[in-house]
């Protein structure tokens, strides 16, 4: 599938068919994440693939109440939990290099967008889930000290159609030379 098409057509999928995801399909989406760029190539991301039903239920219970993705975590054939090693991205000689501190959130965003686009390009659905208790999810997955859960996504074959949430117009999002300056000026 063509890049621009994948970017524009990808939707957040919250309903999945029970149909399994093959090892080959899983490998494609994980490879896509692996090839993302990262701060000084630090690659602070770690991914945990969860297929175990009981564990998926446990993860679903960490989501915020009424989170619209709760059932997706249980119903999808597998869930990919994206974790980060803290203190690597955004650091120079052991100290934060910028006023943003740790850049793990940014690097995880890069990798997970690769993963979601690759999934869509081979007919699989995903949805970025961030609203959950990351501490509890980390306990379920036995994370070591210094590694944290950032987000998770179900992975599977989409069931049904989804609406396209509207986007702001480019005129609202893009300025020229200085904040607030439109192109036409």
Contacts of its own copies in 164-183 (CB under 8 A): 165-168, 170, 173-180
Strand (E) or helix (H) holding 118? helix 104-121
Region 4-63 residues binding its own copies, contact defined as CB under 8 A: 4, 6-8, 10, 12, 27-28, 30-37, 39, 41, 43, 45-52, 55
Decide if residue 85 touches its own copies (CB under 8 A). no
Stretch that binds its own copies, among 14-22, 69-77, 129-137, 154-162 (CB under 8 A): 129-137
Nearest to its own copies of 72, 143 (CB atom): 143
Judging by beta carbons within 10 Å of its beta carbon (0-12, 13-18, 19+), is residue 105 exposed, middle or buried? middle
Judge contact between 126 and 155, C-beta under 8 A.
yes
- 82 bridge partner residues: 47, 151
Residue 89-128 contact track with its own copies, rule CB under 8 A, x = bound = -x-x----xxxx--x-xxxxxx-xxx-xxx-xx------x
Going by the DSSP 8-state scheme, the letter that residue 158 receives in this structure is B
For the CB of residue 129, give the shortest distance to its own copies in the complex, in Å.
Answer: 10
Q: According to CB under 8 A, which one of 150, 152, 155, 158 is a site residue for its own copies? A: 150
Give which of 136, 135, 117, 138 is closest to 126, Cα–Cα: 117
Nearest to its own copies of 105, 159 (CB atom): 105
Decide if residue 74 touches its own copies (CB under 8 A). no
What per-residue string of b and e applies to 73-95 under the rule 16 or more CB within 10 Å gives b?
Answer: bbbbbbbbbbbbbbebbbbeeee
Decide if residue 162 touches its own copies (CB under 8 A). no
Decide if residue 161 touches its own copies (CB under 8 A). no
Determine the Cα–Cα distance for residues 80 and 70; give it in Å rounded to an integer: 14
For the CB of residue 155, give the shortest distance to its own copies in the complex, in Å.
Answer: 13
């Amino acid at each position: 599938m063509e890049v621009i098409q994948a970017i524009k057509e990808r939707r957040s999928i919250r309903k999945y068919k029970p149909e399994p995801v093959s090892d080959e399909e899983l490998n494609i989406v994980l490879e896509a994440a692996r090839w993302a760029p990262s701060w000084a190539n630090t690659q602070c991301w770690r991914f945990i693939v969860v297929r175990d039903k009981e564990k998926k239920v446990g993860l679903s219970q960490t989501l915020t109440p009424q989170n619209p993705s709760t059932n997706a975590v249980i119903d999808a054939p597998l869930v990919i939990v994206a974790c980060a090693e803290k203190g690597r991205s955004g650091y120079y000689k052991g100290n934060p290099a910028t006023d943003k501190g740790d850049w793990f959130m940014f690097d995880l965003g890069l990798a997970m967008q690769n993963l979601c686009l690759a999934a869509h390009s081979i007919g699989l659905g995903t949805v970025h889930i961030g609203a959950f208790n990351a501490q509890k999810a980390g306990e379920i997955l036995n994370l070591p000290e210094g590694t944290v859960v950032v987000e998770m996504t179900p992975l599977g074959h989409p069931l049904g159609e989804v609406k396209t949430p509207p986007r702001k117009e480019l005129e609202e999002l893009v300025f020229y030379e200085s904040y607030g300056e439109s192109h036409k000026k």
